[in-house]
Structure 1
Amino acid sequence: MDADQVRALFTRGDGSYLCARWGRPIVPVVFGVEEATLPVVKGAVEAVVALAGHRMAETDPELGANLMVFFFRDWAELPEVPNLDRLIPDLAPLCDRLAAAGANQYRIFRFDEGGAIRAAFVFVRMDDHMAQVPAETLALLQAVQVIVLWSDLAFTDASPLVAGREGAVMLRPEIAGVIRAAYDPVLPAVARDASHALRLAARMAAVQ
């Protein structure tokens, strides 16, 4: 990918540029899936974290778990989750808006004082479309979309995943390269200047 293509992945709908990565080890917890599906979701997170060269942990000292993934059938279920409204202010009105829009997924990020990601909440409504997506694909897609703060427009035209050998789904190589570059220790955890995309592209080219 050239610098312009990289820049587009982090340029938001309002024209601002923002790239942020996790500033602490990731501790995932998953709600709303069968026991057999838990390893699939956590395995996808582990794979993407390993790709980034980042770390996972057993617990977060502040939140216990800092990556919370919810699977459910109806947005009306979320406000009924005990204490979730304490973590997400105005949860009920948000769910009403998402239901009215027919949304089937939504992500909320929390940031530390420096702007790095400190927590993320992933909501996946299992509508007819989502129910047809294999668990491995759905898990990998969500893991990719929380490993860095992408633009709200980043994957509207093309998925970050691609079909691999024997029908398996894998991360697009160029997106994997962006993730690895974003976690390069020489680059900042947070960048708001579009020139950062030049540095990302340079790191990707150096690895290739």
Structure 2
Amino acid sequence: MQADEIEALFTRSDGSYAFARWGRPVAPVVFGVDDATLVVVKGALEAVMVLTGHQMAETDPELGSNFMMFFFRDWAELPEVTGMDRLVPELDTLIGKLQTAEANQYRLFRFDEDGAIKACFVFLRMDTHLSDVSAETLALSQVVQSVLLWSDLAFRETSPLAVAGETTILRPEIAALLRAAYDPVLPGMAQDASHALRLAARIGVAH
């Protein structure tokens, strides 16, 4: 990928550049799925962790679980979950906006003092569209979108995934970008677009 393509993936709709990766091991928990789907989700997360060289953990010392995925049928279910109002600021207002937009997914990130990701909460309303997506595709897509702070415009036109035969895989250029993003020589957070040049250079070194 060229630097301008990388820059676009982290340039938000307000024109600002914002990049962040996880700064601590990922301790996942998944709600609202059966055991078979749980295995698929954790498999996708493990695959991406192997790709990036990042670590997983059973628990996070501060938060317990720092990567939570919630699967449900209706946004109205969220306020009924114990403690959800503490997890998500202004929960009722957010739900109203998501219902109005007929959204089927939402991600909420929290950050350490140095700007690296310390937690991610993924909410998936399993409407007709998401229900038609295979568990493997949905899991891999959500994990990829949760291991970096991408632009709010990233992947609107092009999915980070591709189909190879009967298997869904990461697009090779996105896989290379993920590896570069977790290179220890690069910062865990960046707000200057010159960071995209460094990512492009790391991809070049890896190849």
Task: Give the TM-score range, shorter chain.
Answer: over 0.9
TM-fit CA distance, 1:125: 0.6
Alpha-carbon distance in 1 for matches of 2:35, 2:29:
12
Deviation of 1:49 (Å): 1.3
- Name 1:182's counterpart in structure 2: 181
Shift of residue 95 of structure 1?
Answer: 1.0
Q: TM-score normalized by structure 2? A: 0.99
Q: Please, which runs of 5 or more residues in structure 2 have no aligned partner?
A: none
Deviation of the 1:84 alpha carbon = 1.1
Q: How does 1:11-160 map to 2 (within 5 A)?
A: 11-160=11-160
- For residues 87 and 125 of structure 2, the distance between their equivalents in structure 1, rounded to whole angstroms, comes to 19
Q: Distance in 1 between matches of 2:44 and 2:177?
A: 18
How many residues end up aligned between the 2 structures?
A: 207
CA shift digits 1:65-101 (9 cap, x unpaired): 0000000000000111000111111112211110110
Partner letter of residue 191 of structure 1? A
Aligned to 2:201: 202
The answer (yes or no) to whether the contact 1:76–1:96 under 8 Å persists in 2 is no
Q: Which amino acid aligns with 2:37?
A: T
Greater than 2 Å deviation, 4+ residue runs? none
Instruction: Report the more deviating stretch, 81-90 or 60-69.
Output: 81-90
Structure 1 Cα separation of the partners of residues 143 and 26 of structure 2: 11
SS of aligned partner of 1:107: strand
CA distance in 1 between counterparts of 2:189 and 2:173 reads 21
